[in-house]
Structure 1
Amino acid sequence: MKKQIIIGTLLFLISLAGTATAQTISGKVTDAEAHPIDGATVILQSIDSTFVDALITDSTGCFRFNRQPAQYRLIFQHILYTTRQQEGTGSDTGTIVLSGKDYTLDEVVIKGEQPLVKVEEGKLSYDLSRLIEHKVVNNAYESLQQLPGVQEINGNLSLAGTPGLSIILNGKPTTMSYEQLVNLLKNTPASRVEKAEVMYSAPPQYHVRGAAINLILKGYRTGESGLKGEVKAGYLHDYKNGAQGGLNLLYTHPKWNIDLLYNTQYRRHRQKTNTYSRHTLNNKIYDIRQQGIIDNKGMTHHIRVGAEYKTNKESNISLAYTSAFTPDQRGHTVSDGNFATSDNRTKANKQMHNLALDYASPAGLKAGVNYTSYRSESNQDFTNKNREENTSRFQTTSGQNIDRWKIYMDREHAINNMGTLSYGASLTYANDHNTQFYHPASTTGMDQLNTDSRYKEYTCDLYAGFSKSMGERFSFNASVTGEYYKMSNYHAWSIYPTAAVTYVVEPAHILQLSFTSDKTYPDYWDLSESTGYISGYEEVQGNPMLKPSTDYSLNLNYILKNKYIFSMAYDHELHRFDQLAYQSTERLALIYKTLNWDYQQSFSATAIIPFKIGNRAEGRATLQAEYHQAKCDNFFDISFNHSKWTYLGILQNNVTLFNHPDIRMELTGLYLSPSIQGSYTLSHVWAVNAGIRWNSANQKAGLVLKADDIFNSMQGNIDIKLRNRGQYMDMHNNSYSRHIMLTFSYKFGSYKEKKHEAVDTSRFK
């Protein structure tokens, strides 16, 4: 069966290599003296004068539309030049020369407001470079937080009204873990950000399902050959002092470029927990109180070397090597209370290596091969003293080795004026080896806890999609993906339909309805049979019986005047899995284990309202109400059916303190009312973030001071309550979430950073 799947998939991939019609229109706008015209408006119409799209030329006068009617008309406009029209049928319009206007103006005052969002082919498109122009934003990650509906809560980005969010770079899905992706975005200068496309139902050619944001970085332009770079250094403060620094180099040429990235960061973090467990065992109630302190520290290094060769304007081949490693990550957990006193010390070494080869042809074919090697080794030294003063001690050695291959191929065909047909395939193979061995020093009978697990995972995806725009009012896209998945004894065929419809009632009123389906697979380590000890009372168990969850989402957006956004969403997730605590009925132990629930569902309503105060202050208010329900009939030997309304409010403010010198300030407040997670009830949380930015007159040097969660209230003051069918537990989490960062950066050679491919370790340990 495995050979048939692989051979069949390869034959299908080869069949996709036929020719296709390029769907782009590009050219250059200059004046009579061949000087490029920056900021000229280019309007794309069909021959019957129906509006199709519009954009502005870049600093080199170049423009590019990602669509091409069979016949079209282009209108070129600029306040200093005479308007010109030109009809065409091909993808290259050549050089358009505009004639200068001969007039003199005594004084002109122009006032206008940039549209916050446009709808392009069913995607909400934001000019992110303009959106962050006057914000205290230092990198691409902070740029994403400026998008309406996007918020960061407890270190995770989310999009209002959606159960999950994927990030795509330059039209390609990221294949790295969330932590590595965040590090990459935090080390990508904000000046490289150009555009963001928000999709509540991502088309299958992106190789992600559900909600996604496609972050587009600025491309390379004529005249940028040579060496460019950026250096930065900074001070970090979490629980204790830390540091960060990096170097980025890029050498460009009209035909090829080479880039080198190195970044390092040293951080120290602390988390405190106070747990009260009213544990019932054999009809007797035990009051157990434990206090724990968890300290972690380590230095992480990121290296990337990439090369790209451009065979022609629409064709390129790239090869990149990416590595991330933490050679000496250390942790120390101390737990004390009336049940036990324990000391737990850990030391880990993690490294990831990725090699990616990608090719894009002028006919629209995209294909690639990606290989990832991940290695994690850790050692634990655990000592525990119980209430009877009996002491036990053991060491453990754990490891995770993963090798993963992926090949993909995508095509698009323009079917005259009927629409666009897209299709493609991908094949992923992963080999995972997890081990955990106990070495008791004063304890016996632990051999049964040793584990040695091996998994081979196969995923084969075949998809087809169709999109169509009917005039400037109505557009839709629909697709279906067939997937075969096999891991150990679990295998299944699945079908994932998606659809999105956009209707422009008039330019000031836009409606968008989207439907998406998705499946989420457990992390590899969660599938192992391992047991890990946090303290003498708390332990973490793996679960090889975990099944993937299936999610269905429906979202309706109403966009008023291209800036006010109102949305309603419904989400239903079958076999949802998450880690929850359970008070064992067989012994005095608090077990953390990931199990499948029956389902989780939610209904939400969101309003996003931007505003301006004078010429120096602007902001945005986000309000959300959500009904949340989680149901499980077989959670160990009990059940739960938990529901609650939750309310979220975010107020972002940006103020220009001075224009000369260039000094900006931001202040953001967030409040989340009490919520639920499975059988848990979580207390309300709130946070205040602030920042100030200074840029030199030539914009090469910059200094940013930011403080996130100033009052340490987001993760530093969370109460978790468990009240369910005899289960009774109170936990107070006091994680140190205040984060202060002072960063100085300097750009040389008009540096513009190279866009990067990503590496997927999202399901690794």
Structure 2
Amino acid sequence: MDMKQAATFIIALLCAMCASAQTETPDTISSRQLDEVVVNVEKPQVRAEDGVMIVDLPGIVKDKPVDNILEALGYLPGVMNNNGMIWLTGASNVTIILNGELANMPLQNLYQLLYTTPVDRLKNVEVMYSAPAKYHVNGAVINVVLKTPTPLDGLQGQVRAGYNQAHYGSYGGVLAATYAIKDWSFDLNYGLTSNKSWSREETWSNHLYDGKRTIIEDDMRRIGHNWSNTIFASASWKTLKLTYNGQIVSDSKSWNLSSGTLGNYTNAYNMLSPVGYHNIALRYAAPFGMTVGGDYTCYSENRSQSLFKDTDYLLGSENRQDINRWHVYVDQEHQFGKWQLNYGAEYQHSKDHSSQHYGIVGMADNPDFDDILNEDVASFYVGTQRSFDWGLTFNASAKGEYYHNKYQHNWNFIPQLGATYYKTPKSIFQLNFDAQRIYPSYWELHGGTSHINDYSTIIGNPKLQPYIQYDAQFNYILRQKYVATLYFQYGDKAMVQLPYQSPDALNLIYQTINMNYERVAGLNLNAPFGVGYIWNATATANIMNRRAKANHFHDISFDNSKWIFYGSLTNSFKFSQNCPVSVSIDFSYISPSLQGIADLSAIWKIDAGVKWLFGKKRCCELDLKEDDIFNKWSPTMTISHAGQDYRMKVHDMTRNFKLTFIWRFNGFKPKESNSIDTSRFGTGK
């Protein structure tokens, strides 16, 4: 069967499915008695309350081949899902929380939890460009609001099995279930995944050393494999809630295989024991407006590295990290007429015991370390909230924060403002402002060294300073559908990690440093449109100016700026209103951009998918999706400034075919009707 015959067969099959669906008449009062009168009311996609943008995300993705919350977030207005990383336009970084609750976990663990949480559990999503201090999160927040089970629902859940084919195949399954009885409710998510990854980087380094240029070429392939177990469990009794989040990664191995000017190298990484992350949290809401809670986090990782040139053993190291973190908080709210007053405090203590030991003793350029880093963060905040009859609602807060470790200690003042104005839902205006301090990862502060090969090394930086990030946004929401966001971001002493050709030796150094600043100003437009149930689409256009400046990037300086455009068009199609099959085609494009001193080439991609609901009461679902069909979502990085001459071409396998089967039991279907810090854990590579 050639491609033309295959396409004809698929279209015919889809039409047959739709024709079958049209003959089915659901046994409901409306279908039996109101056949002659059909009233279609368009549900608002975006609402605004008290400085919060509330998005009907389940309605946006209902025809998309999306089965988990992580993928669904990519369809939020102003959000881009870049290979599993969530970015919010106009915000320097975004924190995802669950039901407005604190659930401290590394970013990769949070994403794994969202990936194993069914999209059917989603009630709506709240976007806060400037989160009030009572959430104990600085900056922008995406609050994922899940449906709460009731005793009438009984035991509900779904089983999901999937297969992903990129360069290698990965597969896994998820069990999700909820149950409620009287004042108790229970929630369980368990996911088991076998992951195998592949990527490729070609580099050309025209290195200036000792008055002459030396060209060093390298072609590196990265291969990795692991088993990942993810567990989320919670039990609630009235307003008391106990939650456990855990992830255990076992049989984790990876290899970097490089060949080029300097020869053939193999870098083998092996986890000597399973990587373990465990978090247990307790939260209680009192009837008089007080909320108290706390959590404990334990993280452990033990990784070995062995570097070979051909068959010759060059060096080996063992990197270990054990983190224990305790966190407590208390919040209080008072209502005085139309004014709300809230205040609270929190304290966090972290103990990071990290070490790096080399197998070859006495190498002066590879010093061992065995270090304990204690970190304390304490804060107190006060905030207020008010709604006025003439259309203005606002929330504002101020937080004082004290940060201390053995390298530094400082006081931070963190202001926040969010305001919304509207007289009718047709035109809504929002203004947001916040400031926050961004901290480096624990491992980087120890100053350890990792070798990629004889030429390239990754070096930590104990002198790395936290930086202050200022963000401001102005949103205009038209007819609860169209969103325009004008934004400004300024990172004072912003951090960046980029390659640097040393003038003292043939050595390429990767090290995170503080720049003078990074500034971004831009405008993002989001517009949904379509033709009835047949075609629904959303167009996004974002134009921005990005500038990065550093007076001391190692021993050189740079001032790099560029205008950047991002555009996307998402489409979903149905052949009839009750058709169980929907088709999606999405397009994305990013013009040439920059990262610090480096320039990045343009990238683009096309995604396509099919979603099919079948079985009794459509309790089964089959999703087929092909991401980045032409494998063009990987950039080329170029550095050509102040004697630096370097180019990296990334050949990651971003093309990914996904096949997912879902079975929902006992009506686990959409019904009408936790703060996470950035990932500071891990020894890195």
Where in structure 2 are the equivalents of 1:330-345 lying within 5 Å? Answer: 330-345=253-268
Q: What TM-score do the two structures reach when normalised by structure 2?
A: 0.91
Q: Distance in 2 between matches of 1:241 and 1:615?
A: 35
Q: Does 1:749 align with 2:666?
A: yes
The answer as to whether partners of 1:689 and 1:710 remain within 8 angstroms in 2 is: yes
The answer as to whether partners of 1:652 and 1:669 remain within 8 angstroms in 2 is: yes
Structure 1 residue 550 displacement after superposition? 0.3
Deviations 1:451-491 (A, max 9, x none): 21210000001111111110151111111010000011300
Partner of 1:92 in structure 2? none
Structure 1 residue 174 displacement after superposition? 4.1
Given the alignment, which residue of 172, 178, 191 partners 1:250?
178
Provide structure 1 residue ranges, at least 5 long, that are not aligned to the other structure: 1-78, 80-103, 311-315
The answer as to whether partners of 2:322 and 2:353 remain within 8 angstroms in 1 is: yes
Where in structure 2 are the equivalents of 1:359-758 lying within 5 Å? Answer: 359-384=284-309, 391=312, 393-417=314-338, 419-440=339-360, 445=363, 448-471=366-389, 473-504=391-422, 506-659=424-577, 661-696=579-614, 697-715=616-634, 718-751=635-668, 757=674
**Greater Rg, structure 1 or structure 2?**
1
Partner of 1:221 in structure 2? 150
Q: Distance in 2 between matches of 1:498 and 1:451?
A: 40
Partner of 2:56 in structure 1? 127
Task: Output the amino acid matched with 1:737.
Answer: T
Structure 1 residue 381 displacement after superposition? 1.4
Partner of 1:147 in structure 2? 76
Question: Cα–Cα, structure 1 residues 228 and 119, in superposed 2: closer, same or farther, change >3 Å?
Answer: closer
Q: Distance in 2 between matches of 1:105 and 1:400?
A: 65
SS in structure 1 opposite 2:422? strand
Question: Cα–Cα, structure 1 residues 186 and 699, in superposed 2: closer, same or farther, change >3 Å?
Answer: farther
Q: Distance in 2 between matches of 1:381 and 1:408?
A: 43
The answer as to whether partners of 1:236 and 1:267 remain within 8 angstroms in 2 is: no
Provide structure 2 residue ranges, at least 5 long, that are not aligned to the other structure: 1-29
Structure 1 residue 222 displacement after superposition? 4.2
Q: Distance in 2 between matches of 1:500 and 1:740?
A: 41
Structure 1 residue 578 displacement after superposition? 1.5
Q: Distance in 2 between matches of 1:627 and 1:174?
A: 35
Where in structure 2 are the equivalents of 1:108-123 lying within 5 Å? Answer: 108-123=37-52
SS in structure 2 opposite 1:735? coil
Question: Cα–Cα, structure 1 residues 248 and 758, in superposed 2: closer, same or farther, change >3 Å?
Answer: farther
Given the alignment, which residue of 199, 211, 223 partners 2:140?
211
Deviations 1:393-440 (A, max 9, x none): 2221110000000001111111123x1111111100000011111112
* RMSD value, Cα: 2.0
Question: Cα–Cα, structure 1 residues 759 and 596, in superposed 2: closer, same or farther, change >3 Å?
Answer: closer
Partner of 1:62 in structure 2? none
Question: Cα–Cα, structure 1 residues 137 and 393, in superposed 2: closer, same or farther, change >3 Å?
Answer: same
Task: Output the amino acid matched with 2:638.
Answer: K
Partner of 1:27 in structure 2? none
Partner of 1:290 in structure 2? 218
SS in structure 2 opposite 1:183? helix
Structure 1 residue 619 displacement after superposition? 0.5
Given the alignment, which residue of 83, 86, 109 partners 1:157?
86
Q: Relative contact order: is structure 1 or structure 2 higher (C-alpha 8 Å, sep ≥ 6)?
A: 2
Deviates more, 1:424-433 or 1:343-352: 343-352
Q: Does 1:182 align with 2:100?
A: no
Task: Output the amino acid matched with 1:264.
Answer: L
Task: Output the amino acid matched with 1:479.
Answer: S
Task: Output the amino acid matched with 2:220.
Answer: G
Question: Cα–Cα, structure 1 residues 172 and 260, in superposed 2: closer, same or farther, change >3 Å?
Answer: closer
Partner of 1:357 in structure 2? 282
Q: Distance in 2 between matches of 1:229 and 1:509?
A: 39
SS in structure 2 opposite 1:112? coil
The answer as to whether partners of 2:137 and 2:675 remain within 8 angstroms in 1 is: no
Deviations 1:176-215 (A, max 9, x none): 2222212211211111111111111111111111111111
Task: Output the amino acid matched with 2:625.
Answer: K
Aligned residues: 645
SS in structure 1 opposite 2:76? coil
The answer as to whether partners of 1:664 and 1:694 remain within 8 angstroms in 2 is: yes
Q: Distance in 2 between matches of 1:659 and 1:250?
A: 30
The answer as to whether partners of 1:721 and 1:730 remain within 8 angstroms in 2 is: yes
SS in structure 1 opposite 2:164? strand
Deviations 1:318-346 (A, max 9, x none): 22333211121111111111123211111
Task: Output the amino acid matched with 2:591.
Answer: S
Q: Distance in 2 between matches of 1:579 and 1:692?
A: 39
Question: Cα–Cα, structure 1 residues 187 and 330, in superposed 2: closer, same or farther, change >3 Å?
Answer: same
Q: What TM-score do the two structures reach when normalised by structure 1?
A: 0.81
SS in structure 1 opposite 2:463? coil
Q: Distance in 2 between matches of 1:593 and 1:323?
A: 31
The answer as to whether partners of 1:175 and 1:761 remain within 8 angstroms in 2 is: no
Where in structure 2 are the equivalents of 1:192-203 lying within 5 Å? Answer: 192-203=121-132
